[in-house]
Structures are given as structure tokens and as C-alpha cells.
Structure 1
Amino acid sequence: MHLMLGLLTGLSLIIAIGAQNAYLLRLGIAERARVVLPAVVVCAASDAVLILAGVLGVGALVQSAPVALTVVRVLGAAFLLTYGLMAARRALRPGGEVLAARELAPGAGVRGVVLTMLALTWLNPHVYLDTVVMLGSIANGQDEGRAWWVTGAVLASVLWFSALGFGARMLRPVFARPVAWRVLDGVIAVVMGLLGLRLALGG
């Protein structure tokens, strides 16, 4: 029961459309498994670390460090707005050609993808509040079932990011048309831009 509760709670937080999910979706559609796998591992491992940090009581430390969260918020806003502008440029570029893999992320290749995913994950102050503080608090309220609850929450991350990253390839026939890429990049630009503005304005 605790395992299932942890699984459902974890899924409820990570399934929402966000910068991390949007980037992984685009990556899964365009890239080979050898590039998608490290991105999935970064997402799932980061969630596991954050959940465990919450269980170990780091949430109280996060709440007592508003300056640190402000720094993360500013850096995260700058990164998201920059990436949003890049996506908008791809969407608006005449011809809308299918992008080469090297254009997916700053720096390109596995290293660039990993660094981009790390930035999208760890420069988001909401991840500390939602995952460390919220999930940590819920987990610590499970008493003897805490270990199973945490296992379920971590499993939710592994299942979701794996499904998103590797399942996105089923959409490749749709994205054989250049216009589909332009629409996707337009959506990503809006998501990244809105999230970046929200962070910049302190939301």
C-alpha cells in the first residue's frame, strides 16, 4: 500500500508539463538511445537524491536558506529564457527543417545533453520545494511504511522518465514532417519562456 501511495504521489508531481519533461520529449523524438539514456538517468537519479534528501531532513535547511534559493531562481530564469529563445528561433526559422542532433542542446552530444538536463533540474527552485520539502514531509509521515513509500516515489521517477524518453520515438513518423518540429519547438518556447518569466518574477 505504501509503495503504491509513493508511486502515485511521485507521478502526480513529475507528470506535469515542465522544462525537464519538454526537453526530454524533444530529445526522445530526435536522438538515439545512447543519448537519451544518460538524460533519463540524470532525471531519475536527481529525483532520487532529492527525495532522499527530503527524508533525511534537508527540507528544513532548504526553507531556512532563502538567499540560496534566490540565486538558483535567477540562474534558472536566465537559463530557461535563453533556451526558450533558442526554441523560438528554431520554430520561426524559414523552412522549418528537421534539426540535426547536434543542434538539440548547447554543447551538443552526450555531454551537452547531460549538462543541459542537469541545469534544467537543479536550477529550478521549485524542485527543492516540491521534491525535498513536500515529498520529504509526506515520506516522513509514513512511519513504518516510509521506506516503501520512498521506494514507490523513486520508482515513479524511473518509470515516467523512461517512458517519456524512450516512448517518444513512437512519435517519429509524425515528426518526419518539418512543420511538426516547428509546432513542437513553438510549444517548448512557450513553456520555457513562461517558466523563465515566472522564476524571474519570483513566482
Structure 2
Amino acid sequence: MFDLSSLLQGFILGLGVFLCPGPKDVLILREALAGRPSMLLIGIGVGSDAALIALGILGLSAALSQAPSWQAAALWLGIGLLLVHGAKALRNALSPSSAPHPGPAPALSTGLRPLLLNSLLNPAAWMDTVLVIGTVGAALAPGARAGFATGAVAASLLWFCALVAGAGRVRRHMASPRTMRLLDAGVALAMLGMAAYLAWAQWQAASP
């Protein structure tokens, strides 16, 4: 039986973290407007959050804090990933021929790899789930951790359901090549901006 207070604590902290959109959220919004199946997008968003939250609570957050070199390596890997996919999104935003036209939903295999990679390896997602939610959850009593994790995952589910449902309501009016190029510009801005911020923070931390 879950402890209600720990469940509410996880839910409130999760909402506070997830309601600030990051690169993954912008990418999921783009895929929803492009006609990707809603349940698939929600499953990827919530499933990746649940996996990272579990890893953090099970001790990955503590392990990374004790191994700064590994933490830095993981962060630079994530920065590289953000730069690559941010550059691709910028290329799409600047190239009219690359913007999808309204029509049937894209094939399931098309474009899923960037979404999966950014859901699981995005350093912003790691900071939110592993290092923030995971650290708080790991500090709780063992009996309270399951309820806390459930509350945090419930917040993720609520957020992605609202995001994808909202995109579905406006898709008919917004799924145009111009809108998709604007969304690609938003994806590029989010990813490249996050990469620049993290790289600057790492440089500042390494400076004497």
C-alpha cells in the first residue's frame, strides 16, 4: 500500500519539474502535430521518464555524484546529442522542401530514433528525473519510495496526455509546412540553447 503523503510529494515535485518544457517536450509536440499516434508518443514520454526516475531512486544519482568523471562524460555525450539533433532541426527549419505536408500520419519508424534518443539520453531529462526526482526519492525511507515514484510518473502521464491532446485538437489548423518549420526552429532553439547552457556551465565549473 502506497503512502499517500509520499505519492503526493512525488506528484507535486513531478509537476513542478515537467511543466517547464524541455527539448523532449518540444519534439513530442512536433511529432503530435505531424500526426504520430498519440498513445505511442505518450508511451515514449512517460516510459522514458519512469525508467530514468527508477534509475535515480535505485542509486544512479548517488553513483554519479560519487564519480564526477563519469557524470561529466555522460553530460558531454548528451551535449553532443543535443547539438546533432539541434543542427538537424535547424536544417529542416531553413529548408522548405524538408517540411512535411499535412496528410496521413508518418510511418511508425520515421523519426522515432531522434525522439527515443532525446527521451533517454537528453541531459535535461537526466537532470530532471535522475538528479532531481531520483535524488529526492532515494533520500526517502525505503517504504515511501514506491509511492513517491508512482506520484512522479503520474505527473509525467498527466503532462504528456495534456500536451499530446492539445496538439491533437489544433493539428487540423496547424499541420502546415510553415507551422512545422516553425516547430523545427523551436526544437533547434531548445536543443542548441540547452547544449550551449550546459557546455558553458561545465566550462565554468572546470575553471579555477
- Asked whether the two chains share a fold, i.e. TM above 0.5, the reply is yes
Name the aligned partner's letter for residue 172 of structure 1: R
CA offset digits 1:112-131 (Å, max 9, x no partner) = 54422231123233433432
- 1:1-203 alignment, distance < 5 Å: 1-33=5-37, 36-94=38-96, 98-99=100-101, 109-143=107-141, 144-203=143-202
State the distance in 2 between where 1:94 and 1:71 align: 36
User: What secondary structure sits across from 2:9 in the alignment?
Assistant: helix
CA–CA distance in structure 2, aligned partners of residues 177 and 32 of structure 1: 15
Root mean square deviation, CA, Å: 2.9
> CA distance change for structure 1 residues 83 and 99 in 2, over 3 Å: closer, same or farther?
farther
Aligned partners of 2:74 and 2:177: how far apart in 1?
Answer: 36
> Residues of 2 paired with 1:140 and 1:132: CA distance?
10
Structure 1 unaligned segments of length 5 or more: list them: none
Retained in 2: the 8 A contact 1:80–1:193?
Answer: yes
Counterparts of 1:135 and 1:31 in 2: how far apart (Å)?
A: 31
Q: Quick check: 2:101–2:175 contact (8 Å CA) kept in 1?
A: no
Q: Give 1:30 shift.
A: 0.7
Task: Tell me how far apart the structure 2 counterparts of residues 24 and 57 of structure 1 sit (CA, whole Å).
Answer: 28
Letter in 2 for 1:4: L
Instruction: Tell me how far apart the structure 1 counterparts of residues 87 and 187 of structure 2 sit (CA, whole Å).
Output: 10
In the alignment, structure 2 segments of 5+ residues that lack a partner are: 203-208
Residues 60-102 of structure 1: CA deviation (Å, up to 9, x unaligned): 1111233333333233222222222222222222478544789
> Distance in 1 between the 2:7 and 2:108 partners?
33
Equivalent pairs: percent with the same residue? 32
**SS in structure 2 of the partner of residue 172 of structure 1:** helix
Report if the CA contact (8 A) 1:80-1:192 is conserved. Answer: yes
Task: Find the residue that maps to 1:72 and give its secondary structure.
Answer: helix
How many residues of Structure 1 are paired with residues of Structure 2 in the alignment? 197
TM-score normalised per structure 2: 0.78
